[in-house]
Structure 1
Amino acid sequence: MLSAYIALTASAFTSATILPGTSEAAFAAFLYRYPQEVWGAWLAAGLANGLGSMVSYGMGRLVPDRKRPSEKVLRRFERWGVWLLLFAWVPVVGDALPIAAGWLRLDPLKCSLMLLAGKFIRYGVILAGIKALV
């Protein structure tokens, strides 16, 4: 079971970075194989996915000032601030949000809290969907 947790954690982590990943499938497969490990899987996936997003945030802080996020992203952050990071789990565009937040030098603690909240909500919704199907 340890190797399954490692695989789930790795998938969740990489899925939150610019690397490709399939954490939803890994999460569902883990729960199919180990249905008694619901809370452990939810915790591992949420934390790893949140940590992956914080790595992306850190990468954003390293982006030179002359490389700006798109005007659309800037307008959204001006309007919503760190709350926008609750949606960093959205496929494709979600990966750019933590990078933009880092580039904008938004508060790292607030960003990490929003990222983690969004990721735990994400896996909670997936978990609810799996439970509804079973």
Structure 2
Amino acid sequence: MMTLGSLFLGAFLAATLLPFSSEVMLVAALVAGEIPPALLVAAAAAGNILGSLVNWTLGRFLLTWQHRRWFPFTPAQIARASDRFSRYGSWSLLFAFLPIIGDPLTFVAGMLKVPFWRFTVLVSIGKIARYAALAATV
């Protein structure tokens, strides 16, 4: 049995840079039919949005250590990510739900110091829409 808490946690983990699939959990919970779909969508979206905020926070403050040997990105990678993000601007955060590019996108937004409220609103719109669309198809 899927609980709202486990769905929230799964969606949270899926939004960080860790590989995880919250969509599978949401579909399983929807098919089980024990919890109203609106609550499932809300739990998944809330967890996923908070996970994205973790990425944003890491991006925002991790650059202080960019000159350390253990830092995971080279200056060239940071410059490339900044250029790509700047090309489309903060509106690209509406697509933070996309696989592969979504999680790094939220990290880069933090590195580029996208304002908290703009980040949160744009990411929330995209993630809520994604989970609602998925729930509507099940």
TM-score relative to the length of structure 2:
0.84
**Partner Cα separation in structure 1 for residue 130 and residue 101 of structure 2:** 15
Unaligned runs of 5+ in 2: 67-72
C-alpha deviation, 1:98, in angstroms: 0.7
**Partner Cα separation in structure 2 for residue 12 and residue 46 of structure 1:** 7
**Residue of structure 2 in register with 1:28 after alignment:** 27
**Partner Cα separation in structure 2 for residue 26 and residue 78 of structure 1:** 34
Residue type of the alignment partner of 1:18 = L
| Aligned match for 2:113, one of 105, 109, 119 | 105
**Residue of structure 2 in register with 1:52 after alignment:** 51
TM-score relative to the length of structure 1:
0.86
Give the share of equivalent positions with the same residue, in percent. Answer: 33
**Residue of structure 2 in register with 1:124 after alignment:** 132
C-alpha deviation, 1:80, in angstroms: 2.4
**Partner Cα separation in structure 2 for residue 50 and residue 81 of structure 1:** 19
4+ runs deviating over 4 angstroms: 65-68
C-alpha deviation, 1:36, in angstroms: 5.1
2:96, 2:126 within 8 Å by CA — same for their partners in 1?
yes
Root mean square deviation of aligned Cα:
1.8
**Partner Cα separation in structure 1 for residue 54 and residue 63 of structure 2:** 17
> Which segment drifts farther, 121-130 or 92-101?
121-130
**Partner Cα separation in structure 1 for residue 79 and residue 49 of structure 2:** 23
